[in-house]
Amino acid sequence: MRIDKYLWCIRYYKTRSIATEAAKKGHISVNGQAAKPSREVYPMDKITLRKDQINYKLTVLDIPLNRLGAKLVDLYRKDETPAEAFEHLELMKLSKEHYRANGTGRPTKKERREIDDFISDDATFTENED
């Protein structure tokens, strides 16, 4: 089975054309060699692919006949991706949340709501003083 079709069948890519583009860009390698989209995969091949800043490492256990349900994917591949890769992704997500310093640029939706709540609370406080 072609590598792009295999990765689409085991649900690593939403469409086969996205899997083909990833292979063309060199994000997919089989047994340590860069793979073209038409590269055939066989059981016990080691696949390395880079997606969403994570280097996934897979071992082909069997070749599916067509696209699988999510519960059946583990019958056809063994995921050997280290847990540190997923932890690194979580740390990157947390660091992006604090990228913009408060007080610079336009307020975010959350900050705007906090400002509105503060102003509405302040207005009710001044009305009660009169």
Mean pLDDT calculated for residue range 79-99: 79
CB atoms within 10 A of CB 16: 16
DSSP code at position 79: E
Domains assigned to the chain = 3-82 (3.10.290.10)
Give the model's pLDDT for residue 100: 60
130 has a pLDDT exceeding 60: no
Model-level pTM? 0.68
DSSP 68: -
Burial class (CB in 10 A: 0-12, 13-18, 19+), 6: buried
pLDDT digits (tens, 9 = 90+) for 45-64: 999 999 888 899 999 999 99
Euclidean distance between CA atoms 101 and 108, whole angstroms: 11
In this prediction, residue 10 carries a pLDDT of 92
Output the average pLDDT for the chain: 85
DSSP string of 105-119, one letter each residue: SSPPHHHHHHHHHHH
- Cα gap 126→40, rounded to integer Å: 74
Which residue carries 């975010």 as its tokens?
Answer: 108
pLDDT digits (tens, 9 = 90+) for 3-33: 999 999 999 999 999 999 999 999 999 998 9
Q: What is the pLDDT of residue 98?
A: 60
Q: Cite the DSSP H helix spans in 1-130.
A: 3-9, 16-24, 83-97, 109-129
SS3 of 35, please?
coil
Whole-number pLDDT of residue 102: 61
pLDDT, residue 128, reads 59
Predicted confidence at residue 101, as pLDDT, reads 64
Q: Which residue has the higher pLDDT, 102 or 104?
A: 104
What amino acid occupies position 71? K
pLDDT exceeding 90 applies to what percent of the chain? 44
Task: State the virtual CA torsion across 100, 104, 110, 111 in degrees, nearest 10.
Answer: 140
